[in-house]
Structure 1
Amino acid sequence: MDYGIGMLSVAPMRAETSDRAEIVTQLLFGECYEVVAQEGNWRCLQLATDGYRGWIDFKLHTPVSEEYYKAWCQTKHSRSLDLLQTVQQGEVQIPIGIGSYLPFFDGQHIRVNEERLAITGTVVAPDATQTPDELIAVAHRFLKFPYLWGGKSVFGIDCSGFTQQVFGICGYQLPRDAYQQALHGEEVHFVTQAQPGDLAFFSNPEGRITHVGIVLEGQQIMHAHGEVRVDKLDHNGIYNANLKRYTHNLRIIKRISF
């Protein structure tokens, strides 16, 4: 069995073994994975964080030992909080974005296999207790991030990537997709009872949950739709004042207890 770790700011994971294939998710810096299949110059990864699978070009694969991988999986890791910061690897500076994993961070360095890399900037400790207000403050750091199907980074993010990253930084690991995230938490029965930090889910005409956002004060919602933005939320769904119409139909609201 082969194991690896993301050593670039972000790497696309694709549905098929082609650079033209759909991006299903992204591998972030410091995120470990297991190689579950190989096909030519492509490797199929299963992320240690959420179990999601996708293909990467073999050139993006950085191997780690089985011992390191198991230790990584058994440890809660610090996360970067600055929109962009750098990790120093020798004389090379690796740019990393908010939400990147900082494996075995000791206050100044992270560790990849036996190599220690220096890092500076704002870091969230893995055992930090986050209040709803702090979660909303983290969410606001993502405002204006451009929308990208399969994205979960400062360079492009989708709706469930946004919620997964915000909650992950705050210490709660959500699944990757919106319909999976909807299985977590306790249901809030009325939109007027929703509180900041609740997750609101939206369905398509066939009834499938396809969108998610984070509830704010004043019946507003922050979500990734073209960009990470704030819109109005009511019992019908999301109302976009710029478009002067509803863009998403409300299905359910869930409250996550940390």
Structure 2
Amino acid sequence: MTLDRRLNAFRPDLADEALRGQVEAERFIAGKAARITMPVAALRPVPDSACGIDTELLLGETVRVFERKDGWAWVQADQDRYVGYLPEMQLGDPEEVTHRVCVPRTFLYPEPELRRPPVASLSMASRVRIVGEAETRGTRYVTLADGTALIASHCLPLGENLTDDYVTVAARFLETPYLWGGRSGFGIDCSALVQLALMMTGRSAPRDSDMQAAFGTGIAREELRRGDLVFWKGHVGIMEDGETLLHANGHTMTVARENFEAAVQRIGWLYSLPTGYRRI
């Protein structure tokens, strides 16, 4: 059996303790817990900032660290098990989080005052630890331990779902720029749109479209309805209704709505016809 390097941490010199007996390596370690301290952290297949990104991790998400070397950390994300490299400076000690951002994008202010220049921009699904509340001129804020503040309505308690309908969540990303490997409200790819939208409804999904192609139950094209997934080789879209496809795509370079039959013809002319249809 060949293990997927995206989901399993192994190299000839070092591997995850959980893979002992499945792979050969000079050393096996369990890894140490850490959390992402940057708004968005790019995860790469090699420790090289010039290399394209595989995916992104968001503020407050946790990882296991297998190695820290030359300013880079080799990690595995707890959320979806994705393995890769990111700058060591983007990691901090584990911290209990209480809330997550529930809007596509929001600002982190230096204090509960929207007139102050923001200190950061955060994406939907970012995780924070709220320690207090404040109100300024009728606007309610939640505050973090360092005194910074978020708009209260832009956050939900951890474990509370935004909605039961993940398609509604996905539609909130309309016109967000397409970004290969992107997984945030600042830039997102097709499979991350599926994953993040489901996450905000309390469901987990694999990260990449080829992994998602085995997710749920296979259906026929004639059965397509709202919430079903359509797959092409290297691409996935969400049916908003029986005739409309919602997807992050390189054609418009945004998250966009498109007539499904028109999308099939357009994509098929250059690439291929859909490879499968799944119901979650």
TM-score range, shorter chain: 0.7 to 0.9
Rg (Cα) greater in structure: 2
Q: Does the CA-based 8 Å contact 1:8-1:94 persist in structure 2?
A: no
Q: Percent sequence identity over matched residues?
A: 25
Over 3 Å counting, the alpha-carbon distance change for 1:32 and 1:187 in structure 2 is same
Counterpart CA distance in 2 for 1:222 and 1:248 is 18
CA distance in 2, matches of 1:188, 1:198: 9
Equivalent position of 1:229 in the other structure: 256
Q: Is the 8 A contact 2:132 2:142 kept in 1?
A: yes
What TM-score results when the alignment is normalised by the length of structure 1? 0.77
Displacement of 1:124: 4.4
CA separation of 1:33/1:237 partners in 2, compared to 1, >3 Å: closer, same or farther? same
Indicate the SS of the match to 2:211.
Answer: helix
Q: CA deviation at 1:248?
A: 4.9
Work out whether 1:254 is the aligned partner of 2:278.
yes
Q: Cα–Cα, structure 1 residues 28 and 140, in superposed 2: closer, same or farther, change >3 Å?
A: same
Q: Which secondary structure does the structure 2 equivalent of 1:85 belong to? A: strand
Counterpart of 1:49 in structure 2 is: 79
Larger RCO, structures 1/2 (Cα 8 Å, 6+ apart): 1
Aligned to 1:206: none
What's the counterpart of residue 239 of structure 2? Answer: 215
Q: Pick closer, same or farther for the CA change 1:105–1:211 going to 2, 3 Å.
A: farther
Q: How does 1:159-198 map to 2 (within 5 A)?
A: 159-189=190-220, 191-198=221-228
Amino acid at match of 2:154: T
Question: Does 1:122 find its partner at 2:148?
Answer: no
- For residues 115-164 of structure 1, what are the alpha-carbon distances to aligned partners after superposition, in whole Å with 9 as ceiling and x for unaligned? 78643233345243844xx3222111111111211111122111111111
Cα separation, partners in 2 of 1:252 and 1:103, compared to 1, 3 Å: farther
Give the TM-score taking structure 2 as reference length: 0.72
| SS at structure 1 position matched to 2:264 | strand
Q: Find the aligned partners of 1:47 and 1:105 in 2 and give their Cα distance.
A: 26
Q: CA RMSD in A?
A: 3.0
Deviations 1:56-86 (A, max 9, x none): 112212222xxx5xx77xxxx7532223223
2:122 maps to: 96
Distance 2:84 2:143 in 1: 26
Q: What 5-or-longer segments of structure 1 have no aligned partner?
A: 204-209
Q: CA deviation at 1:187?
A: 1.3
Return 5+ residue gaps in structure 2 as ranges: 1-30, 113-117, 134-140
Q: 1:129 to 1:156 in 2, by over 3 A?
A: closer
Counterpart CA distance in 1 for 2:110 and 2:88 is 21
AA matched with 2:126: S
Give the 3-state SS of the residue equivalent to 2:275 in structure 1.
Answer: strand
| Greater fraction of residues in strand | 1
